[in-house]
Structure 1
Amino acid sequence: MSLSVGSIDFSREWVSSQPQPTSTAQISTQASTTSPAVAAHPRFRGCVVRRWSAVLVKDIPASWRGRAPAHHTPLGGSLTPTGARTGDRGGLASTDVPSLSSAVSAALAGAAGLAVVAAHDLLQRKHSILRNYPVIGHARFLLEGVRPELQQYFVERNWDGRPFDRDIRSIVYERAKGIAGEQAFGTERDVNEPGYEYLVHSSLPVPEPEQPPRVTVGGPDCTRPYSMSLLNVSAMSFGALSANAIRALNQGAATGGFAHDTGEGGLSPYHLEHGGDLVWEIGTGYFSTRTKDGDFDAAQFREKASYDVVKMTSLKLSQGAKPGIGGVLPAAKVSQEIAQIREVPQGEKCVSPSTHRVFTTPVQLIEFVARMRELSGGKPAGFKLCVGSRVDVLAMVKAMLEVGTTPDFIIVDGSEGGTGAAPLEFEDHVGMPLTFGLMTVHNALVGAGLRDRVRVGASGKVAAGNDIVKRLIQGADYTNAARAMMFAVGCIQAQRCHTDTCPVGVTTQSARRQRALVVGDKSVRVKQFHEATVAEAVKLMAAMGVRDPADLSPHQLRLNISPHENRSYAELYEWLEPGELLTDPPESWAGDWAAASADTFRPTSRRT
């Protein structure tokens, strides 16, 4: 088949006989010698131009291909950067690379979108910065959103992060993974800085005991004492933590031989699943043991306290991070399951009252603790508090003397302790730090001649072996850790605990987010962190010449007063002698001792 255009017989044979160009220069020559009538013929456009396209694409730099605009051909059409002529069915489809018109359309759409955002920003009335700086003002909120991550990963130094610095987080992560957690080249801390504390080693260290020492909790009125580890899982509720986090902590406690405090949120199935030793904590909401009107249910308590895994029961008076306001579980975390366990409405903020219904005086407090011990079948019973007034502590001590019984233990929670949700004013400005609260409780019991009947636990930023030894010197018999245990199960200190959006599944009730936390793996990490940390504490005590924690002395902990002076805790603070408050109270304690009454938590006289 052939067609005539002018004087040329235009056929397939003719097209095929045309020389194949090898450069853009030859294409230009062919184009200039081809008549317009021939160039416009579809067969010429469909056959000859394809061969030209291959040469044009070859001459396009590789870095331009796929993003350069279409190239116009000498015949009036255009060639895309891939060599296909626009509108031609041959070669690659023209939709493989956006055409110029598509790019213009996208740009116009983007501009329209920005215009809509700008109009919204100018008209909205909530954010001043957006009214003055539409569109670009959103950068401020974006940067605020990523500020914690930028601060933690790129700004803070190894030793000055808060609440926990990078050094502490790293040592927990490494020990949880079974890594030694050692460091090279020496300390990065300023050892001459005021406030720096250090332990006093001995010139004659002693061998480490084969097994870490343990503490027997249970006074003379307790018939089923419990052997407590030097480090345990501090109070964290199901609800504040996810089900998988509770499972991992409890399984770690079961395999590692230490106790797991349930927190005040109730005794959940996840606390019971792996058989770890439990300290069942009862708060002002009496969750898991409450009547319909929110009062304490003795029958429920007796039944659940009899579980074999429940080794001790604890009454929460206050918490270090938010003393005086009770507990708060945000509405976002009150799922149907949590509502059933706590016996509260689903989807509403769950607030534990600030005060208890079961007592209003120190005497009633001590009597209720004794009742808890009786209902549990003789298991150790005690209470937890963040110390506020020293008079309150002394009033409790006087109540113990009056009633004739004591709690088996007292847990002192420092104001530096953590929480899932609390007002900033309470976190930062209410409550006594652990150092002073611990020494207050210890000295009050010693001065009243009751210290040998009551074990003292300490909680508040305990994460390393030196933290354990330091608290033992200050008056504790054992320690509890919450956030360090959270690090062991994967916490990255995102500080989103109250939002239910924890990125690692530790403090969320989202099933999708909880999936990130693999119980089997994280339970091993909890066990390994506990084991390594207690081992380091024992090693430190051996270096100090001590095998039994009871032999530690305030002389073995020193504090820098200035860059040129340091003193031991024995020199800095007053340490009462056994029974001293009963015979001849020192002047510094006499006023508070006189103001304290077993019948009220209010001071009864003016203190000096």
Structure 2
Amino acid sequence: MNLSLLNRYAFFVFCVLFTLASLVFLDQAWFWPATALTGLLSLVGIADLLQTRRAVRRNYPILGNIRYLFESIRPEIRQYLIEGDDDRLPFSRAQRSLVYARAKNEGADKPFGTLSDVYLSGFEFISHSMRPAPVADTAGFRVQIGGPQCSQPYSASLFNISAMSFGSLSANAIRSLNQGAKLGNFYHDTGEGSISAYHREPGGDLVWELGSGYFGCRTEDGRFDPERFAAQASLPQVKMIEIKLSQGAKPGHGGILPQHKITAEIAHTRGISMDQDCVSPASHSAFSTPIELLQFIDRLRTLSGGKPVGFKLCLGHPWEFMGVAKAMLKTGILPDFIVIDGKEGGTGAAPLEFTDHLGVPLREGLLFVHNTLVGINLRDKIKLGASGKIISAFDIACVLAIGADWANSARGFMFAIGCIQSQSCHTNKCPTGVATQDPLRQRALVVEDKAQRVCNFHRNTLKALAEMLAAAGLEHPSQIDARHLVQRLSASEIKLFSQQHVFLEPGELLSGRIAGEFYERMWRMAQAEGFEPAAA
């Protein structure tokens, strides 16, 4: 039994042993209170181990109840002792409380007005209509993905599970997410760690993310293997293929899975060794220019039998993406979709400097990609997804208003299955069983219970989005645009999103009469033949 297990169960074991040992002293009246107390605590510990709804209690019998004791005292103790310090954690107390409530089907309504200061710079809101619309049926909140070169288009939900790999997450976490996706009829992105048995077991829709390590379809030296790819991509459960160019947590940096988290199952799933850390390269070996990227997309579409193929990126040098746009025009090859990840997103561990200072935030990156495609008359042929710290219905509305067709969330669904932001993902000691390969720790995460919470969170978030849109006088998410969103710039000034941002006209980049100097300069620097910039 390892030291970590001893630490977690030590108090419970002590109570049981003390109770048993004290039975010989029952003739001593002074010993009865201690025996009664440890006996009662032993029963509590046994109940903790047998119950299935609270992972922390299963992993920390008796002691884990302290968290839920504080949680039951509202609002001050719960806000400040349980849910943590907003400055230390990447998501606020209000955001986490919202997810927990929706995942448990609890009311998320709050009394006494807004939690935000409406007069602080940066405050955002949706303006409502004097004539609200009927609340739409969220069953229609779907988007058809698959351009003119795709023969197997996919109808995706407006809200889906973003990329998180088996290896980073436990087997039970993957099972819970995928079963929840199946229950709610939305997709589950595999992350770059390939398709595991735990992704396939529940039968939920999958988007296979293909990173630079080509896990699940790699040769012995780590290069792309077309035969292995075709075998996996042909699975009916795989609905789309997503090439990961970069991710919000650490753009321009390869993924890392520490050796101590690599099990035999993970090694088999990824096609890697267990003898060292699993490090995926920062860049792909299958292509090195914008044109080669599009040729690779075309090859994957053919190998997959015509399924939608696209790529995910956190925007970096703007001229590089415009180089890809020029390559689309030159080759005629189009991705079916592009997912824009924001630098503020990401669930994986990353160097602090990358987390804080590398990559473009989601909204700026999304708007740039949207404008570029509009400017070359291809926006109607390529769908855009958005991912990066998206938690609430308002977050979804914001990205839809500036160009996205759908949204993905990683941490939101992690919260739904029990993540408490202990920030111990890389240590293999996650207290809730979400981000660990320790079989005893992940046993605490009960799939059936958490899968239903995943489904609840998805359903209730889209329901809230439908209600927000109805208040704005809109009947469908496709109707929202930058005119409906408002931001406070100072104590005395607010502006619509449409007033703050530059929106290109269809074909503007091709016309030679580009209104924005920035877009004009980036377009001149872009090259289809390479990612390096031309002279501006």
Distance apart, 1:334 and its partner CA: 1.1
User: Which deviates more, 497-506 or 198-207?
Assistant: 198-207
**Distance in structure 2 (CA, Å) of the matches to 1:161 and 1:528:** 28
Alignment partner of 1:187 is 2:114: yes
Alignment partner of 1:213 is 2:148: no
State whether residues 330 and 421 of structure 1, in contact with CA within 8 Å, keep that contact through their aligned partners in structure 2.
no
Distance apart, 1:363 and its partner CA: 0.4
The corresponding residue for 2:97 is 170
The corresponding residue for 2:528 is 598
The corresponding residue for 1:9 is none
Distance apart, 1:292 and its partner CA: 1.0
State whether residues 212 and 534 of structure 1, in contact with CA within 8 Å, keep that contact through their aligned partners in structure 2.
no
**Distance in structure 1 (CA, Å) of the matches to 2:445 and 2:410:** 17
* Correspondence for 1:565 among 493, 518, 523: 493
- CA deviations 1:91-125 (Å, max 9, x no partner) are 989x989xxxxxxxxxxxxxxxxxxxxxxxxxxxx
- Structure-to-structure mapping, 1:189-338, within 5 angstroms: 189-210=116-137, 211-338=139-266
Alignment partner of 1:585 is 2:509: no
- CA deviations 1:463-484 (Å, max 9, x no partner) are 1111111110021000000000
State whether residues 211 and 243 of structure 2, in contact with CA within 8 Å, keep that contact through their aligned partners in structure 1.
yes
Alignment partner of 1:377 is 2:305: yes
Distance apart, 1:321 and its partner CA: 0.8
**Distance in structure 2 (CA, Å) of the matches to 1:272 and 1:381:** 20
Distance apart, 1:185 and its partner CA: 1.5
Distance apart, 1:549 and its partner CA: 2.3
Distance apart, 1:160 and its partner CA: 6.3
SS in 2 for 1:554: coil
**Distance in structure 1 (CA, Å) of the matches to 2:428 and 2:229:** 30
SS in 2 for 1:397: helix
The corresponding residue for 2:321 is 393
**Distance in structure 2 (CA, Å) of the matches to 1:161 and 1:556:** 33
Alignment partner of 1:408 is 2:333: no
**Distance in structure 2 (CA, Å) of the matches to 1:300 and 1:411:** 24
Paired amino acid for 1:220 = P
- CA deviations 1:306-330 (Å, max 9, x no partner) are 1010000010000011001111112
| Aligned residue-pair number | 464
**Distance in structure 2 (CA, Å) of the matches to 1:280 and 1:522:** 22
User: Which deviates more, 361-370 or 543-552?
Assistant: 543-552
Distance change >3 Å, CA 378–CA 507, structure 1 → 2: same
- CA deviations 1:24-55 (Å, max 9, x no partner) are xxxxxxxxxxxxxxxxxxxxxxxxxxxxxxxx
State whether residues 333 and 347 of structure 1, in contact with CA within 8 Å, keep that contact through their aligned partners in structure 2.
no
* Correspondence for 2:461 among 533, 557, 562: 533
State whether residues 329 and 421 of structure 1, in contact with CA within 8 Å, keep that contact through their aligned partners in structure 2.
no
- Structure-to-structure mapping, 1:323-472, within 5 angstroms: 323-472=251-400
Paired amino acid for 1:187 = T
The corresponding residue for 2:5 is none
Distance change >3 Å, CA 92–CA 420, structure 1 → 2: same
State whether residues 249 and 348 of structure 2, in contact with CA within 8 Å, keep that contact through their aligned partners in structure 1.
no
The corresponding residue for 2:44 is none
Work out which structure has the larger RCO, using CA pairs closer than 8 Å and 6 or more positions apart in sequence. Answer: 2
RMSD: 2.1
Distance apart, 1:546 and its partner CA: 1.5
**Distance in structure 1 (CA, Å) of the matches to 2:474 and 2:370:** 20
State whether residues 466 and 476 of structure 2, in contact with CA within 8 Å, keep that contact through their aligned partners in structure 1.
no
Distance apart, 1:189 and its partner CA: 1.1
**Distance in structure 1 (CA, Å) of the matches to 2:380 and 2:345:** 27
The corresponding residue for 1:142 is none
Distance apart, 1:156 and its partner CA: 7.7
Paired amino acid for 1:381 = V
- Structure-to-structure mapping, 1:44-123, within 5 angstroms: none
SS in 2 for 1:321: coil
Between structure 1 and structure 2, the one with the greater Rg is 1
Distance apart, 1:212 and its partner CA: 3.6
State whether residues 230 and 479 of structure 1, in contact with CA within 8 Å, keep that contact through their aligned partners in structure 2.
yes
The corresponding residue for 1:128 is none
SS in 2 for 1:555: coil
SS in 2 for 1:396: helix
**Distance in structure 2 (CA, Å) of the matches to 1:549 and 1:371:** 33
**Distance in structure 2 (CA, Å) of the matches to 1:532 and 1:92:** 58
Paired amino acid for 1:585 = I
Distance apart, 1:154 and its partner CA: 3.1
**Distance in structure 2 (CA, Å) of the matches to 1:212 and 1:469:** 16
- CA deviations 1:184-215 (Å, max 9, x no partner) are 12112101100111111111111122334210
Paired amino acid for 1:166 = R
**Distance in structure 2 (CA, Å) of the matches to 1:331 and 1:200:** 50
State whether residues 457 and 479 of structure 1, in contact with CA within 8 Å, keep that contact through their aligned partners in structure 2.
yes
Distance apart, 1:599 and its partner CA: 0.5
The corresponding residue for 2:35 is none
**Distance in structure 1 (CA, Å) of the matches to 2:83 and 2:304:** 48
Distance apart, 1:347 and its partner CA: 4.5
The corresponding residue for 1:523 is 451
Distance apart, 1:151 and its partner CA: 12
TM-score w.r.t. structure 1 length? 0.74
The corresponding residue for 1:108 is none
